[in-house]
Amino acid sequence: MKSNAQITRMGILFAIRELLWYNKENIQKEAVAMGKLIVIEGLDGSGKGTQAGELVKNLEAQGKQVRKISFPNYASDSSALVKMYLGGQFGQNPGDVNAYAASTFFAVDRFASFKQDWGSFYAQGGILVADRYTTSNAVHQCSKLPKEQWDAFLEWLFHFEYTLLGIPAPDLVIYLNVDPAVSQKLMTDRYQGDESKKDIHEGNLPYLNRSREAAEYCSKKLGWREIACCEAGRMRSIEAIQAEVLTLACE
Ligand SMILES: Nc1ncnc2c1ncn2[C@@H]1O[C@H](COP(=O)(O)OP(=O)(O)OP(=O)(O)O)[C@@H](O)[C@H]1O
Ligand SMILES: [Mg+2]
């Protein structure tokens, strides 16, 4: 026989469990996807912006309602902490800001642009092509942690952005696989040889190499669609890569 106190305690625990479950269900419902979100992911200088732009043009030519979005959203005040971090104001090494803290800087910037800019377009069924997304936190922040902590970090990251903040999860992630030595050269060319223009991620080849390992881990674990962008140590043409991107986007 249970005492009255035990029965009351069980009742309270049951009510708490129901309340937690109700909140979880409702937060998830608010985050339900309506449009389509295609993410172009890759290391720094891997051609994400270029391929996202080309994809938007090609989908528009097919008469689709499509928009390009880019992260970080440097045009917005919401990227202030990202700028401070990448500009080295919290330390010159990426590791000076831990994976969780740095991830929140990028996440709130995405939340702001979802709320102010593209959320309604998405809710009305529009197609968004994102040059980077939450997936960039996965790539660039995992590399700061020991490998045995990657799974826990990824679980935290996606729960934080897609469930708690309530921004949509991607329908498709296309990972542009580029050898870091090749992408470093593209970036140096872009900055006309001025190495000082690179941010604390871009200028750090050992960090980029670890990020590549993280990217490949995430790509396999999370079912990203991968495009091999290099051939014999050089970039393939923009058009050849785009043909594969477009095929994946239209599947
Ligand atoms: N397939 C390609 N072949 C040669 N050059 C390319 C190719 N794709 C992009 N580029 C050039 O490489 C540079 C980097 O490309 P892009 O800016 O699209 O990369 P990104 O991944 O968006 O870079 P970041 O991570 O710095 O934002 C640009 O100058 C771009 O014109
Ligand atoms: Mg870019």
Question: Do 91 and 163 sit in the same domain of this protein?
Answer: yes
Instruction: Count other C-beta atoms under 10 Å from residue 180's C-beta.
Output: 19
Q: Is the predicted pLDDT of residue 29 greater than 90, yes or no?
A: no
What pLDDT is stored for residue 206 in this prediction?
Answer: 85
In a mutational test of the pocket of ligand 1, which residue from 46, 50, 106 has the highest number of ligand atoms less than 8 Å from its CB? 50
Structure tokens at 211: 């990020």
Question: Do 135 and 239 sit in the same domain of this protein?
Answer: yes
What pLDDT is stored for residue 25 in this prediction?
Answer: 52
Question: Do 222 and 237 sit in the same domain of this protein?
Answer: yes
130 pLDDT band, cuts 50/70/90, is very high
Number of structural domains (the chain) is 2
Question: Do 43 and 18 sit in the same domain of this protein?
Answer: no
pTM comes to 0.85
Question: Do 5 and 50 sit in the same domain of this protein?
Answer: no
pLDDT in tens, 74-127: 999 999 999 999 999 999 999 999 999 999 999 999 999 999 999 999 999 999
How far apart CA 124 and CA 210 sit, in angstroms, is 39
Task: Give the domain CATH number at 57.
Answer: 3.40.50.300
Q: Is the predicted pLDDT of residue 23 greater than 60, yes or no?
A: no
Question: Do 174 and 77 sit in the same domain of this protein?
Answer: yes
Amino acid present at 243: A
Structure tokens at 27: 């937060």
What pLDDT is stored for residue 188 in this prediction?
Answer: 84
Q: Is pLDDT larger for residue 27 or for residue 138?
A: 138
Could you tell me how far CA 78 lies from the centroid of its own chain?
16
Q: Is the predicted pLDDT of residue 166 greater than 60, yes or no?
A: yes
> Ligand 2 center to residue 103 CA distance, Å?
18
- In this predicted structure, which of 98-107, 174-183, 193-202 has the lowest mean pLDDT? 193-202
Q: Is pLDDT larger for residue 5 or for residue 82?
A: 82
Q: Which ligand gives the minimal distance to the CA of 44?
A: 1
Q: Is the predicted pLDDT of residue 11 greater than 80, yes or no?
A: no
Q: Find the domain containing 44 and state its range.
A: 33-249
User: Would the CB of 183 count as within 6 Å of ligand 1?
Assistant: no
Closest C-alpha among 9, 63, 68 to residue 38: 68
Once rounded to an integer, what is the mean pLDDT over residues 243-250? 98
Q: Is the predicted pLDDT of residue 33 greater than 60, yes or no?
A: no
